[in-house]
A and B are shown apart, each in its own frame.
Chain A
Amino acid sequence: EAGVAQSPRYKIIEKRQSVAFWCNPISGHATLYWYQQILGQGPKLLIQFQNNGVVDDSQLPKDRFSAERLKGVDSTLKIQPAKLEDSAVYLCASSTWTGRRDTEAFFGQGTRLTVV
């Protein structure tokens, strides 16, 4: 079974530029998550989708971050404009969760963003 795919693996941009990350979840996984992992810290949930609807975006900095999940499959996370403190690894995860059965989240390898 293929895992969660993310691209690009690495990205370096200047502050105030925009950047987008792409995620393809495991086939059949209804729920998709974006996490931010700053160096030396644990991942922090930014947004959770179930199919193409947002379940939780309470920790997403909406003034600069946006995310969408078209057709309930792939997802993109965008930052515009980027700040130095956005330097982090952006992890995408997916699960079969639909609100009824417990499950686990499977993580991709992440996109490492450096803002200079």
Chain B
Amino acid sequence: QKEVEQDPGPLSVPEGAIVSLNCTYSNSAFQYFMWYRQYSRKGPELLMYTYSSGNKEDGRFTAQVDKSSKYISLFIRDSQPSDSATYLCAMSGGGGAQKLVFGQGTRLTINP
């Protein structure tokens, strides 16, 4: 069993839709939870960063962490074609940069 499981998709939605991306994990030591966005042939860039359980909102993006269920989510409101990318969840027990364990990535396409 992988430490982090993420539905690879692909996921295709119309512009303006609400997108929900999810990951589950098995390692109880994970305390730091991140979402990265990766455009084609680019490196991952940090989108959202949450420590422990709870919600965090940044513009159209909301990250949720439920440690009791070992489940994290990323919601994108009013999705735009520019949001089309691969979204990677990542987790760590030691901090936002330490030994990140990534999910497989979900490929998202927003159709105009």
Interface residues, chain A, CB within 8 Å of chain B?
4, 31, 33, 40-45, 48, 56, 91, 93, 95, 97, 102-110, 112
**A110/B43 in contact, CB under 8 A:** yes
* CB 8 Å contact bits of B1-22 with A (1 = contact, 0 = none): 0001010100000000000000
Q: Which residues of B line the A interface, CB within 8 A? A: 4, 6, 8, 32, 34, 41-46, 49, 51, 88, 90, 95-100, 102-105
Contact between A48 and B99, CB atoms less than 8 A apart:
yes
Residues of B within 8 A of A31 (CB): 97
Q: Which residues of B contact A33 (CB under 8 A)?
A: 97
Q: Are B102 and A105 in contact (CB under 8 A)?
A: no
CB within 8 Å for A108 and B43 given contacts A41-B105, A42-B103, A44-B102: yes
Residues of B within 8 A of A45 (CB): 99-100
| Cross-chain contact B104 with A42 (CB below 8 angstroms) | yes
Provide the residues of chain A in CB contact with B90, threshold 8 Å.
42
Q: Tell me the bound Cα distance from A43 to B42 in angstroms.
A: 13
Contact between B97 and A103 (Cβ–Cβ < 8 Å)? yes
Closest CB in chain A relative to B97 CB, distance in Å: 4
Q: Is the CB of B102 within 8 A of A4?
A: no
| B-side contacts of A95, CB under 8 Å | 96-97
Query: Complex formed: what's the CA distance from A31 to B34 in Å?
Result: 19
User: Are B97 and A109 in touch, CB under 8 angstroms?
Assistant: no
Lowest 10 CB-CB distances: which A-B pairs, in order? A42-B102, A107-B43, A95-B97, A105-B97, A104-B96, A102-B95, A97-B97, A109-B43, A107-B44, A43-B102
How many angstroms from the CA of A112 to the CA of B96 in the assembled complex? Answer: 25
Interface pair A105/B100, CB less than 8 Å apart:
yes
Q: Which of B6, B34, B95 has the most CB of A within 10 A?
A: B95
Residues of A within 8 A of B49 (CB): 104
* Interfacial chain A residues near B98, Cβ < 8 Å: 48, 97
Residues of A within 8 A of B46 (CB): 104-106
Q: Chain B: which residue is nearest A103 at the CB level?
A: B97
Residues of B within 8 A of A93 (CB): 43, 97
- Chain A residues with CB under 8 Å of B34's CB are 104
Whether A97 touches B95, Cβ cut-off 8 Å, given contacts A42-B102, A45-B100, is yes
